[in-house]
Structure 1
């Protein structure tokens, strides 16, 4: 899919809707532009419409750039001391201008552009005749998955967002939904998509969502609502269902973050990035299909250095040695830090450490393994869900359901890849205590998944941001949380321009 999709991904974009007036004066057709009435007729139109929905992954408000600031840097894993003060403020809960483009509005806009494109597919493809009904059903199921995915992250970031389920019109004033209603729609779309999408695709279509991709996000949605039994049912797919045996951990942890071993057996769903095009971020055929994350997260003098990692992560990795008495090897591939060369005989983009002694930077998805600088066109696929995450999610769900004894094995599988002792051996005082197991699992997820855009959702799910006392503990690791106001900063403000222009929207609580 990574090559096939790029050939046609930008050929269908939202089309202009004109108000009715004197046709001969206002409704003049441009012979060089296809109209909406002319489109949505053939199987090819349907596929191009779906490709336009996939293209939204490459927009700066989403997975090309800014969403990482919301999911990684706002969490206790990362922060910003960018000279762009307003950008840095939006990672430390100092929201003054709710219309800040890079921190809020652009992500909102691109989220709803993505939803609009999926809605176009769902509204129009149903009426197109296909020679193969299965092909049509799969296109519709992919659109449902993509819509659910974007609403999942909207729920994580803003919570109380409008549910728009039909192609938008210029004068629409969508009604605000509650967080519970958003989750219900995510569940509905994913449940319907799961009934259609295959266990795996053939080689030309690798990278499209599978049934496993759907079940992973369904489990995530349930877990955020603490619907533990429903989450277990979704995750059972990977262990006792049709997905059993399909996924596994790759031998080399590093292979999860480079462009040389993508869509491997550990991948459950990943965004297909490419450096084929080096255009801008618009909708023209040469627009970029790459990620800017490495450019914005690289150390000073290598990239823009607008985002970096908290140093407590380095210390956490070093608290426990492997069964061979060595440092946890995940540290080498997760972070750049001052002692990297001494600890692993490794350098940072081919150079020795030249930054502050208390600084660390995210290494995942950096391209130092084959170049000594970064640019806007990183081709590394971003792994939205890995099987290691599935294993840890399953352990968490089992523990919450009182099946702590059964949960150990799934954590141990993740630990054993990097030669860490079994959890029972390393932490015998946990026993069958559910609270102690949960506390340890929080650190296990950090060690395995730091910098992979899951931590903000984790903190919310665990309730670590729900009381002043709990937030104070988080602030011990990340002083930015001293600015966090309980009941307010658990969610972003809605862009104020949206509230002002739509009488059906109310600004989020306490903003």
Structure 2
């Protein structure tokens, strides 16, 4: 990360080359330009747009799936597990999940340039000292939101992390900081963002509503050991913003002709035209479909992640889905028939997977983009160009978070009512009597909520965080993830990723002694 910081200062990119040390001994040739950039509000806004683009890029292609792997909701496809033993460690939680694993190192390295650029903007905007409502102040709110969100993810995935407050750089350095300090910093960023970011903004940019939502999530997610977890404060944050959004029909959330609905709080903006496509369907579609119909079928792909049995089966068969829940068919593809022809496995038997073939078992459907299909008339003809918007924060999620807070505050009956509001949407607006929750205890509510969040938020990249913050990471994964169950290797320390080996080699303030417990 220290090397990443240096590269950002000099070149604006992340490059692992020996030449960077040379820059440390030379007079800076960029300092004057940086001083100009971060004292000019128009140039800061241009830089901010670049930061949003880099953040959005984290959620594209295969790299956008890494933190979704290895949960009770999604697992890697069988052929992927067989052909890439190193990446297989993300589901097996075996010795391949270590500090040398490039897939997790890349997740670490992708986030720090965003954090650093946001930190530079924040320092510059603080010097400009704009009054609330001015452009300087609203941009400061947005930059705080971005840094807060990145730090939130980094802290959830790695635990103690460096704090990039450039006003205290001499004090903080590049060391990992105590969890309480890290989470205090995250909460402070979201608090500033909530008070300064604009109420309305261009699609894909932060608002005060998004900041209040994330501040609430931060209060829910801060480790209990920090003393900062506070469901009452989280509840208040959610109450400040929920009234500005409304639930829409669930299918509208995945309709590319209806982007940025009234439910959307913050979503990444994509299109099926390169370079604004997200390429996700290429990774999550079916290899068997691709072998039959080619890349011109909009649900072709390469099975990088597939739903666990628990995430696609009915309640009667040990899964999460209840009869009549409309979210099921919007979230998961069960039928692979394409214009009257049904594919088989005969063209991919060379994979030799025995009983593990899963290319025609249920797949993620939410990100399928018919505009890329050879029958769409758009002449794109390749699922690699998939470009649906991706929801990052939406009201359905926040209502369920709010219900959790109510339950933890002893208001379980009120919490049940909120959940039933979300569930009513899942049955077309009227919730059948036998589908209404009538939860008797807070513990029963917590258990039921774990499955409800799969139904509502399947494949929206909240699952790993949900399992970590609720303390159910190991139990749920070893029970429902096929590969983790077979391996039997998952342990409590796997809740955090290992600090990358390259980080420890390049940053003398993070050494092997600072590695997360259990890894080497």
Calculate the TM-score normalised by the size of structure 2.
Answer: 0.78
Using the TM superposition, give the Cα deviation of residue 108 of structure 1 relative to its aligned residue in structure 2, in angstroms.
0.9
Using the TM superposition, give the Cα deviation of residue 444 of structure 1 relative to its aligned residue in structure 2, in angstroms.
1.4
Aligned to 1:231: 234
Using the TM superposition, give the Cα deviation of residue 457 of structure 1 relative to its aligned residue in structure 2, in angstroms.
1.1
Using the TM superposition, give the Cα deviation of residue 318 of structure 1 relative to its aligned residue in structure 2, in angstroms.
6.9
Query: In the superposition, relative to structure 1, how do residues 235 and 480 fare at CA in structure 2: closer, same or farther (>3 Å)?
Result: same
Task: Give the distance between the partners of 2:411 and 2:209, measured in 1 at CA.
Answer: 23
Using the TM superposition, give the Cα deviation of residue 352 of structure 1 relative to its aligned residue in structure 2, in angstroms.
3.1
Q: Deviation digits for residues 274-312 of structure 1, max 9, x if unmatched?
A: 344x3xxxxxxxxx3332222111111222222111122
Task: Give the distance between the partners of 1:495 and 1:249, measured in 2 at CA.
Answer: 41
SS where residue 187 of structure 1 aligns? helix
Residues 137-176 of structure 1: pairs in structure 2 closer than 5 A: 137-166=137-166, 174-176=174-176
Q: In the alignment, which of 488, 494, 500 is matched to residue 505 of structure 2?
A: 500
Matched, 1:295 2:295: no
Query: In the superposition, relative to structure 1, how do residues 127 and 223 fare at CA in structure 2: closer, same or farther (>3 Å)?
Result: closer
Matched, 1:479 2:482: yes
Q: Is the contact between residue 92 and residue 490 of structure 2 (CA under 8 Å) also seen in structure 1?
A: no
Matched, 1:108 2:113: no
Using the TM superposition, give the Cα deviation of residue 362 of structure 1 relative to its aligned residue in structure 2, in angstroms.
0.8
Q: Deviation digits for residues 339-390 of structure 1, max 9, x if unmatched?
A: x37xxxxx46985353557722111112147626654433211101111111
SS where residue 44 of structure 1 aligns? helix
Aligned to 1:305: 303
Q: Which has the higher helix share?
A: 2
Residues 121-200 of structure 1: pairs in structure 2 closer than 5 A: 121-127=121-127, 134-166=134-166, 174-200=174-200
Q: In the alignment, which of 362, 369, 376 is matched to residue 360 of structure 1?
A: 362
Using the TM superposition, give the Cα deviation of residue 135 of structure 1 relative to its aligned residue in structure 2, in angstroms.
0.7
SS where residue 156 of structure 2 aligns? helix
Query: In the superposition, relative to structure 1, how do residues 462 and 130 fare at CA in structure 2: closer, same or farther (>3 Å)?
Result: closer
Aligned to 1:330: 327
Aligned to 2:214: 217
Q: Is the contact between residue 350 and residue 368 of structure 1 (CA under 8 Å) also seen in structure 2?
A: no
Unaligned runs of at least 5 residues, structure 1 = 1-11, 279-287, 342-346
Q: Is the contact between residue 284 and residue 363 of structure 2 (CA under 8 Å) also seen in structure 1?
A: yes
Matched, 1:99 2:100: yes
Task: Give the distance between the partners of 1:497 and 1:481, measured in 2 at CA.
Answer: 27
Q: Is the contact between residue 75 and residue 455 of structure 1 (CA under 8 Å) also seen in structure 2?
A: yes
Unaligned runs of at least 5 residues, structure 2 = 1-9, 14-19, 223-228, 291-299, 346-356, 375-380
Task: Give the distance between the partners of 1:376 and 1:254, measured in 2 at CA.
Answer: 23
Q: In the alignment, which of 58, 70, 76 is matched to residue 74 of structure 1?
A: 70
Calculate the TM-score normalised by the size of structure 1.
Answer: 0.79
Task: Give the distance between the partners of 1:194 and 1:90, measured in 2 at CA.
Answer: 35
Q: Is the contact between residue 75 and residue 306 of structure 2 (CA under 8 Å) also seen in structure 1?
A: yes
Task: Give the distance between the partners of 1:317 and 1:352, measured in 2 at CA.
Answer: 27
Q: In the alignment, which of 369, 381, 388 is matched to residue 380 of structure 1?
A: 388
Residue-pair matches, total: 453
Using the TM superposition, give the Cα deviation of residue 441 of structure 1 relative to its aligned residue in structure 2, in angstroms.
1.7
Query: In the superposition, relative to structure 1, how do residues 348 and 69 fare at CA in structure 2: closer, same or farther (>3 Å)?
Result: farther
